């Protein structure tokens, strides 16, 4: 059995036979080991009390890593990188919209505060990235750039190119969610209404590639048009599903986050009211 480094296009007919990808396993192992190493190394300096990460933070981070693993490995990684555009879109949603918020929710507050003191330059970068305009710019450049024909037909077919696209999605997703989920107010000062509006705005531009996919006369990407067929799904139907999925999946995920923001907003207002009544009473 051939062990590949990363999922990419191949001329092999699709089969439901498992294929191993060494790079994916190393990537997942590095994410877990890196997280635990940072907690162990920085914890004694910045968080003497244990536990250094709550159970919820740990669970959130590991779930985020698991999502990345599912998105990268066989079969989703294999199908999405070389056979079906619709699965490529699912990968995009997992990489950009599902995994990043889970990973960010897994970062303890003391760790970010520790960065301010241990690595002030990185702290400034984190604050810069928490600017919603910067974050939206990065996310939308990644989204649009990674769906150009040049990238999908020119870069995506190789293992390194596929890896680069996946990492760009992850970076774009982390940038998108950072202003909303940054665990330290000093990094992101967005109020609840601004977070709500920011998330809403983030759903606008993905409509463009989605519409192109849905309304195109012919398949847009040679990579998926000329790939061996999977279960007889035509390239046109695949592209149609991809276009709809890009919009629907993205909207469902971001609107769910908006609902969470709205609930927290209402709760915080109610809390303030209660405190005001308590003070005046």
Interaction of residue 236 with another protein, rule CB under 8 A: yes
Q: Does 37 bind another protein (CB under 8 A)?
A: no
Kindly tell me which residue out of 3, 118, 204, 275 binds another protein, with binding defined by CB under 8 A.
118
Question: Could you tell me if 232 and 79 are in contact, meaning their C-beta atoms sit under 8 angstroms apart?
Answer: no
Query: Out of 24, 47, 104, 182, which residue is the one contacting another protein (CB under 8 A)?
Result: 47
Nearer to another protein, 167 or 263 (CB): 167
96 and 172 Cβ atoms separated by less than 8 Å: yes
Among 90, 235, 253, 261, the residue binding another protein under the rule CB under 8 A is 235
7 vs 257, which CB is nearer to another protein? 7
DSSP per residue, 123-177: HHHHHHHTSHHHHHHHHHHHHHHTTSHHHHHHTTTSHHHHHHHHHHHHHHHHHHH
Segment 205 to 234, residues that bind another protein, using CB under 8 A:
217-219, 222-223, 225-229, 232, 234
CA-CA distance, 17 to 280, in Å (whole number)? 69
- Position among 49, 277, 279, 280 found at the interface with another protein (CB under 8 A): 49
Nearer to another protein, 159 or 203 (CB): 159
Q: How far is CA 9 from the centre of its chain?
A: 22
**Residue whose tokens read 């994410």:** 31
C-alpha distances (whole Å) from 65 to each of 68, 96, 104, 269 are 5, 13, 11, 34
Among 41, 50, 121, 277, binds another protein (CB under 8 A): 121
Q: Least Å distance between CB 128 and another protein?
A: 14
Which residue stretch of 11-19, 55-63, 176-184, 193-201 sits at the interface with another protein (rule: CB under 8 A)?
A: 11-19
- Mark 145-164 with x for binding to another protein (rule: CB under 8 A) and - for no binding: --------xxx-xx-xx-xx
Least distance in angstroms from the C-beta of 161 to another protein = 3
| Tokens 């999946």, residue located | 249
> For residues 52-91, which are near another protein according to CB under 8 A?
none
Which residues touch 200 (CB under 8 Å, ≥6 apart)?
254, 258
179: nearest Cα among 222, 128, 247: 128
* Cα 7 from Cα 21, distance rounded (Å): 7
- Contact residues toward another protein (CB under 8 A) are 11, 13-14, 45-49, 110, 113-114, 117-122, 153-155, 157-158, 160-161, 163-164, 217-219, 222-223, 225-229, 232, 234-236
């Amino acid at each position: 059995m051939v062990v590949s480094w990363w999922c990419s296009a191949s001329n092999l007919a699709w089969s439901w036979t498992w294929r191993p990808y060494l790079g994916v396993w190393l990537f997942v192992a590095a994410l877990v080991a890196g997280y635990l190493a940072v907690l162990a190394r920085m914890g004694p300096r910045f968080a003497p009390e244990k536990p250094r990460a709550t159970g919820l933070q740990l669970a959130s981070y590991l779930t985020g890593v698991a999502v990345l693993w599912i998105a990268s490995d066989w079969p989703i990684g294999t199908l999405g990188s070389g056979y079906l555009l619709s699965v490529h879109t699912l990968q995009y949603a997992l990489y950009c919209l599902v995994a990043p918020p889970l990973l960010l929710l897994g970062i303890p507050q003391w760790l970010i505060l520790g960065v301010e003191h241990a690595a002030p330059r990185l702290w400034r970068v984190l604050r810069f990235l928490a600017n919603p305009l910067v974050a939206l710019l990065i996310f939308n450049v990644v989204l649009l750039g990674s769906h150009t024909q040049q990238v999908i037909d020119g870069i995506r077919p190789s293992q390194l190119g596929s890896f680069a696209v996946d990492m760009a999605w992850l970076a774009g997703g982390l940038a998108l969610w950072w202003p909303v989920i940054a665990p330290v107010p000093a990094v992101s000062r967005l109020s609840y209404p601004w977070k709500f509006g920011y998330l809403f705005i983030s759903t606008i531009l993905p409509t463009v590639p989605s519409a192109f996919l849905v309304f195109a006369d012919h398949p847009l990407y040679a990579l998926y048009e000329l790939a061996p067929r999977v279960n007889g799904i035509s390239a046109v139907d695949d592209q149609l599903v991809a276009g709809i999925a890009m919009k629907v999946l993205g909207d469902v995920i971001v609107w769910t986050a908006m609902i969470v923001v709205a609930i927290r907003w209402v709760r915080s207002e109610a809390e303030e009211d209660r405190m005001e009544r308590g003070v005046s009473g």
